Structure 1
Amino acid sequence: MATYYPPVGFHFKVEFGVTQDSEFEFQSVSGLSVDIETEEFAEGGENRFKHKLPVRTKFPNLVLKRGLVTDSDLIAWCRDAIEDFQFKPTGVMVKLLNEEHQPLKTWNVVHAYPVKWSVSDFNAEENSLVIETIELAYNYFKS
């Protein structure tokens, strides 16, 4: 029987439908999770508990972090949304890679658009990179 090793979480790439550049080098990706919202229903005559029924799924924002890039197609797409209020939703693919740089698992994020962009604090007492954070709202993802 072959020994199975779980994949490492640091070898991944992110691809956007709005850019032709190779903008897949991110420091971290978070927000690939889903919650099922429930609604409580009280049954007449049953006082010990309430029934919980599934209602809908809820997806948090996708948060991407990387070293600051001053000019790119991705940043232009974000600026269009944030500065000009021109939203162009796109697909985003997050790919977990193996040691040969081939995808082990892919998450297809549907109808993503930027809702927040920020940069890390500037501090003259530290020698650190400027990190930009791009936060995307999306409808759902498929894996």
Structure 2
Amino acid sequence: MTGLVYPPTGFHFLVGFELFPQTVQDVRFQEVSGLNVEMQMESVKEGGENRFEHQLPVRSKYADLVLKRGLLIGSGVYQWAKNAFEDFTFQPVNLIVSLLNEQHAPLLSWHVVHALPKKWDVSAFNAEQNTIAIETLTLTYRYYNTIRI
């Protein structure tokens, strides 16, 4: 009898940037979103056919990748984003988002190609709440490849 196979949990993951220098904290994020792709379609009308329009695929469109974590000053990722926003020095990097199993080995990974910082946001400071400061980094990228292990 085989054991039950459950879908993997979404809380054990890491993000590895192909960027140097890096710190140990540069792979740790609280949340990753935006790993989605949508096929852009073109409508084509056929003469004499009034019931529908043909939908033809044109190209893939990838959403922005959004990374959230506790605010870290001095990390390699922070310096990379800071160089882009403050000095207008853009260095495209690739990164890998990996969903991990109980042994910390990748179950599934996404290789994100040619990422650039698009937006950097720091959460609100509030003297009435006991929360950590969260930074949100939004990246634009060309595409990603899914890597099945």
Q: Structure 1-normalised TM-score?
A: 0.97
User: 1:80 is matched with which residue?
Assistant: 83
- Give % identity: 52
Give the alignment of 1:32-111 within 5 angstroms.
32-111=35-114
Letter in structure 2 aligned against 1:51 = H
CA distance in 2, matches of 1:21, 1:59: 28
CA distance in 1, matches of 2:40, 2:71: 36
CA distance in 1, matches of 2:108, 2:73: 30
Letter in structure 2 aligned against 1:101 = H
User: 1:140 is matched with which residue?
Assistant: 143
CA distance in 2, matches of 1:49, 1:134: 42
User: 2:17 is matched with which residue?
Assistant: 16
User: 1:6 is matched with which residue?
Assistant: 7
After TM superposition, give the deviation of residue 85 of structure 1 in Å.
1.0
After TM superposition, give the deviation of residue 2 of structure 1 in Å.
2.8
CA distance in 1, matches of 2:94, 2:3: 36
Q: What SS class does the counterpart of residue 126 from structure 1 fall into?
A: coil
Letter in structure 1 aligned against 2:58 = V
TM superposition outliers: structure 1 runs of 4+ over 6 Å: none
CA distance in 2, matches of 1:121, 1:140: 32
Q: Structure 2-normalised TM-score?
A: 0.94
Where in structure 2 are there 5+ consecutive unaligned residues?
Answer: none
Q: String of CA shifts for 1:42-83, please: whole Å, max 9, x gaps.
A: 000101111010000000110000000011111110011111
User: 2:117 is matched with which residue?
Assistant: 114
After TM superposition, give the deviation of residue 110 of structure 1 in Å.
0.3
How many residues align? The count is 143
Q: What SS class does the counterpart of residue 48 from structure 1 fall into?
A: coil
